[in-house]
Amino acid sequence: MLNNYTARYIKIRSGYMGQLVEWPEVVTEGKTLEECREMLKDALREMVLAYRQQNKEIPPGNALFEQIAVEV
């Protein structure tokens, strides 16, 4: 089964931090956005394996992510 997850990237001093919206425990950092993206994919694969080994339910993906503008 193929699940899609929503990644959120934040620019930090050392590069980028990546985290999954639907599965906040999956988080990583990379020097570049591309490196962070690859590391996040790897972290997701490892988390799926760990959850399966522990017979835990894997969080569903496909979150809807939307930006809302507000004047400040």
- Asked whether the beta carbons of 25 and 32 are under 8 A apart, the reply is no
Q: Is residue 64's pLDDT more than 90?
A: no
Strands in 15-20's sheet, in edge-to-edge order, are: 7-12, 15-20, 27-30
In 10 A of CB 16, how many CB atoms? Answer: 20
Which stretch of DSSP H or E encloses residue 16?
strand 15-20
pLDDT, tens digit (0-9, with 9 covering 90-100), for 14-59: 999 999 999 999 999 999 999 999 999 999 999 999 999 999 999 8
Question: DSSP assignment, residue 60?
Answer: P
Q: What does pTM read for this prediction?
A: 0.80
